[in-house]
Chains A and B, each alone.
Chain A
Amino acid sequence: MARIDLWWLPRALVLGLLAFIIFGPLSNLVLWTIAEKWYFPHMLPLEYGLSFWQRVFSPRGNAMESLLTSIVIAALTVIASLALAIPAGYALSRLTLPFRGLILLAFLIPQAFPNLPVYVNIARFFYQIGLNGTIAGVVMVHVTHGLVYAVWIATAAFSAVDVDLEEAARSIGAGPFHAFRDVTLPLAAPGLMASAIFVFLESLDEFTGTYFVGAPDVTTLPLLLYTAGSGGNYQIASITALLLLVPSIGFMLIVERFLRADVLSKVGH
């Protein structure tokens, strides 16, 4: 006699709930991007259309310009962070430094304190030295923020490269520079790539610091999103949010491919 397995019922319920929690807000967002007219108490938009997309991508809309600013800032942040994180991560993984754990922890400090007072003070200081409202100023704020990922992941990536491999190069005639360039760096590259992506995404999403240090002269996508959202223009805000999602999802897939488990296991050690 075939028995009907009733276990699928709670399972389906839980899965459905989970899917709703994840995809509910997202589908709402997508709906908003194509809604021409939508107000309470209607469950669905009253009119659909792409006129807001046209507005966002029109020469007069700021979206493309902000996107470009965001990408330039993110790219500069990545370059600056890696320039600091590669030597720092290498030193932290290879040398027996006193207070190594403390040094690693120090990079967390910018994240440890409430953002607002920190950025207000930075803004005040940058204003005095003329860095407020400049791309350089925003990049510096983003670097302090992203450095914790960059240094921690870079340290893990270099730790995952066996010292034997470096010594093997040294023993057959490679100087320290060649051994690093030809052996250590290529082997740590996937981890460094992942740290670059983290820093890039962090910078792309960063709002508070950019708001205090950059606005109104430097407008990134999150700032545009904030302006549109607070002005009640949900269509523009949703389209901007969707634009922000694209690099995030793309890079997440890449990170997942690049970051090997043995690197991940060494993060923070």
Chain B
Amino acid sequence: MTMQTFLEVEKISVGYGTTTVLADLDLGIGKGEFVALLGSSGCGKTTLLRTIAGFARPSAGSIQVDGRDVTQMAPDRRGMALVFQSYALWPHMTVAQNIGYGLKLQKRSRGDIEAKVAEMQDLLGLSGLGNRKPGQLSGGQRQRVALGRALAIDPEILLLDEPLSNLDARIRLTVRHEIRSLQQRLGITAIHVTHDREEAMVMADRIVIMNAGRIEQQGSPEAVYNKPASPFVAAFMGAENLLSMQARVTGEQIELHEGAFNSSTVTARSGRKLLSGPVELRFRAEAARLVSNNDTAAREPGALELRGQVASVSYPGGHWRHAVRLGTDEILVDSITPFAQGETVKVRIPAQSLFIFNTPEAPAPAH
């Protein structure tokens, strides 16, 4: 990334009491960039956001905005605005008062405030609701008011703490795009905390995947999706199918040894950092292809072929999902056409969809 770093989080450590939530974490964000902090609950993503906002005190490290050190600064002096998961609208104020409060604090003239509030209402589709109280609004409208309240003060950095998680699934999809296009139009630097992979993918320029207080991987949505750097990232990005094998790495090639369900396969190393020995393979249900057992078409070079029995078939929509049994393991594979239960099938996984990692020393806990 050639972008100049605008927000710099350096070696930050945060803990509550004796538990450490974040340890030695580094993160740089460019001006105008939309970054998603993605992870399951308890991974420290919200704590990182609250530390950047100034509501959690780091025990070590520093935070800089545009070269200024803000580590010890009170939240109200950081030039950021946080949108809360609960929206946190003030129930005793009207929509217009909620949006205009930050401007009132800046001692702007009344005309100024009214103009800006009207502009925000227009921008967010809240026109005509200025005199309503938050209690009289729908979830989606409240979410917009919360956004308008944050945007009204023209923050340097917009912080979003799972702002869509309380919305209906259908509204969520439209609001995603609204927030994204608004952020691009206004050129705001934004940090978005979410546990929803798809949400992070469609909204962010860069995804930062967090696990147990550390950053596992960061990069563009297509990079973390197609080139997961760790088994955790692969699983989090939807590669839930897991197989254990033995591999030998020679030069630019990886040889997967013959097993009970597959023949020996040689595939390109393509820059993977891998050592010979036990490996775990991960792939997505939609990346694999299901063919009948008597299909003799030559498989693509480097693709892995597995043989198993269809254990069950379901139709989640758009494609058929098959659970294919390989001995005691079961993998999920999608197909456009259904296969009968009990049928012996071949599963072909193209080389670029296979995520191969060395099995960690300690046996991984059962999935």
Q: Which residues of A contact B (CB under 8 A)?
A: 162, 164-165, 167-176, 178-179, 182-183, 186-187
Of B86, B90, B106, B146, which contacts A183 at CB under 8 A? B90
Q: Nearest 8 CB-CB pairs, A to B? A: A172-B102, A164-B88, A168-B88, A171-B82, A170-B75, A173-B105, A173-B76, A170-B76
Not counting A168-B84, A187-B90, a sample of 9 additional A-B residue pairs whose C-beta atoms are within 8 angstroms of each other reads A165-B90, A167-B84, A168-B82, A168-B88, A168-B89, A172-B152, A172-B153, A172-B155, A173-B102
Query: A residues within 8 A CB of B159?
Result: 171
How far is the CB of B57 from the nearest CB of chain A, in Å?
A: 13
Q: Does B42 contact A (CB under 8 A)?
A: no
Q: List 13 A-B contacts (CB under 8 A).
A: A162-B86, A167-B55, A168-B88, A168-B89, A169-B90, A171-B82, A171-B150, A172-B81, A173-B153, A178-B105, A182-B101, A186-B92, A187-B90
Alpha-carbon gap, A112 to B190, bound state (A): 56
Q: Residue B284 at the A interface, CB < 8 A? A: no
CA of A102 to CA of B82, assembled, Å: 36
**Interface residues of B, CB < 8 Å — how many?**
28
Q: Which residue of B lies closest to A189 (CB)?
A: B92
- The residue that A172 contacts in the complex, of B74, B86, B92, B101, with Cβ under 8 A, is B101
The answer to whether B80 has its CB under 8 Å from any CB of chain A is yes
Which B residues touch A178, using CB under 8 A? 105
The digit string for B121-151, where 1 denotes a CB below 8 A from any CB of A, is: 0000000000000000000000000100110
Give, as a whole number of angstroms, the nearest-CB distance from A94 to chain B. Answer: 13
When distances are taken between beta carbons in the complex, the residues of chain A under 8 Å from B92 are: 186-187
In the assembly, what is the distance between CA of A174 and CA of B90, in Å?
14
Q: CA of A175 to CA of B102 in the docked complex: distance in angstroms? A: 11
B91 proximal to A (CB < 8 A):
yes
CB nearest to B105 among chain A residues: A173
Secondary structure type dominating chain A contacts: helix
Tell me the complex Cα distance, A164–B142, Å.
15
Which B residue's beta carbon lies closest to that of A179?
A: B76
Measured CB to CB, the closest approach of chain A to B85, in angstroms, equals: 8
Known: A173-B102, A173-B105. A164 touches B84 (CB 8 A): yes
A164 to B53 Cα, complex, angstroms: 13
A170 CA / B88 CA spacing, docked (Å) = 12
Q: How many A-B residue pairs have CB under 8 A?
A: 67
Quick check: B88 and A172 within 8 Å, CB to CB?
no
Interface residues of B (CB under 8 A from A): 53-55, 74-77, 80-82, 84, 86, 88-92, 101-102, 105-106, 146, 149-150, 152-153, 155, 159
Measured in the bound complex, the distance between the Cα atoms of B80 and A262 in whole Å is 32
A190 to chain B, nearest CB (A): 10
**In the complex, how many angstroms separate the beta carbon of B145 from the nearest chain A beta carbon?**
11
CB-CB < 8 A to B80: which residues of A?
171
A173–B75 CA distance with the chains assembled, in angstroms: 8
Which B residues lie within 8 Å of A172 (CB)? 76, 81, 101-102, 105, 149-150, 152-153, 155
CA–CA, A186 to B97, complex, Å?
14
**CB distance A164 to B101 under 8 Å?**
no
Nearest Cβ on chain A to B10's Cβ, whole angstroms: 22
The verdict on A175 contacting B74 (CB below 8 Å), with A167-B55, A182-B101, A187-B92 known, is yes
Q: A168 contacts which chain B residues (CB < 8 A)? A: 82, 84, 88-90, 146, 149
Select from chain B the residue with minimum beta-carbon distance to A166.
B88
Residues of A near B153 (CB, < 8 A) are: 172-173
B82 adjacent to A167 (CB under 8 Å) = yes
Bound-complex Cα distance A113 to B35 (A): 61
Q: What separation, in Å, do the CA atoms of A164 and B87 have in the docked complex?
A: 8
The residue on B at minimum CB distance from A182 is B101
Most buried by A among B101, B146, B153, B155: B101
Q: Chain B residue with minimal CB distance to A167? A: B55
Is the beta-carbon distance between A171 and B75 smaller than 8 angstroms?
A: yes
With CB as the reference atom, state the residue of chain A lying closest to B91: A187
**What distance in Å separates the Cβ of B264 from its nearest Cβ neighbour in chain A?**
58
State whether B75 touches A167 (Cβ < 8 A). Answer: yes
**Complex: how many Å from CA A169 to CA B92?**
13
A240 to B76, CA, bound (A): 55
Residue of B54, B75, B80, B146 most packed against chain A (CB within 10 A): B75
B120 CB to closest chain A CB (Å) equals 13
Q: How far is the CB of A74 from chain B (nearest CB, A)?
A: 28
Instruction: Please give, as numbers and ranges, the residues of chain A lying within 8 Å of B53 by CB-CB distance.
Output: 171
Assess A164 versus B105: contact at CB under 8 Å? Given A171-B76, A171-B80, A172-B149.
no
Residue in chain B with minimal CB distance to A164: B88
B91 touches A167 (CB 8 A): no
